[in-house]
Structure formats: C-alpha cells, structure tokens
Structure 1
Amino acid sequence: MMNKLKGLVFEEKGQGMTEYGLVLGVIAVGVVALLATLRDEIMTMFNEVINNVTNRDTGGTATTSGTGA
C-alpha cells in the first residue's frame, strides 16, 4: 500500500496537463482583471461606435421624393 502511495506522489503522467491548466487559469484571471479595469473605456468606445453608425451622414444628395425621375 505504501509503495502505491509513493508511486502516486512521484507520478509525472499528468504533470504537463496540470501545468497547462494552471497557466490557462492565471491567464483567465488576468483577462478578467484587465476587462474589469478597462470596463468604462470599453463601454465608451462601443457607445461611440453605435452612435456613429446610427447617426452617420448619408454622404450624398439623394432624394426620397418617390417620383422616379
């Protein structure tokens, strides 16, 4: 029984996957912290884009009189 426990302690099969998981977790926490910090700036940027698309000029002299001529 003790030999099995010692074998599990020194087992390296899942070590690489565990390290990748830890790195991914640290990156995810960093991204969440960054987005929380930049939240107001990101919202302002998206609102400016929405306003520019909604209120854009037509850029021409087209009329909508419906005469077809």
Structure 2
Amino acid sequence: MLFAPKEKGQGLVEYAIILALVAIVVIAVMRLLGPKIGNTFSTINSSLP
C-alpha cells in the first residue's frame, strides 16, 4: 500500500460536525423554549417576598 489514504484528520472533522449539529439543536431548543422558561422564572421571582 504505497498510496494509502491518510485518515489522520478524519476524526477531528467528524467531531466538528457532531459539535455543530449539537449546537444547532441547542440553539433551536432555546429559541423555542426560551420565552416559556423566562416567564416561569419571572413568575417564581415575583412570587418570592
């Protein structure tokens, strides 16, 4: 195998893709649930003395 493909950086690229997908999912969930979570904390804060 004189001309074997180099797979040294392949793992890093895969980790970067997974990290990007996780970041996209987290951002989407925060955009959807952000106002509800904020309202819940506001309600709790206003009910405290």
TM-score (structure 1 length as normaliser): 0.58
Please give the secondary structure, in 1, of the residue aligned with 2:47.
Answer: helix
Residue number in structure 2 paired with 1:18: 13
Counterpart in the other structure of 2:43:
48
Greater Cα radius of gyration, structure 1 or 2:
1
User: Structure 1 segments of 4 or more deviating over 3 A?
Assistant: none
Equivalent residues in 2 for 1:1-69 (5 A)? 10-53=5-48, 55=49
Gaps of 5+ in 2: none
Partners of 2:17 and 2:47 in 1: how far apart? 42
Q: How many residue pairs were aligned? A: 47
Shift of 1:50: 1.5
Please provide the CA RMSD for this pair.
1.7
2:41 and 2:32 map into 1 onto residues whose CA distance is 16
Structure 1 unpaired stretches of 5+: 1-5, 56-69
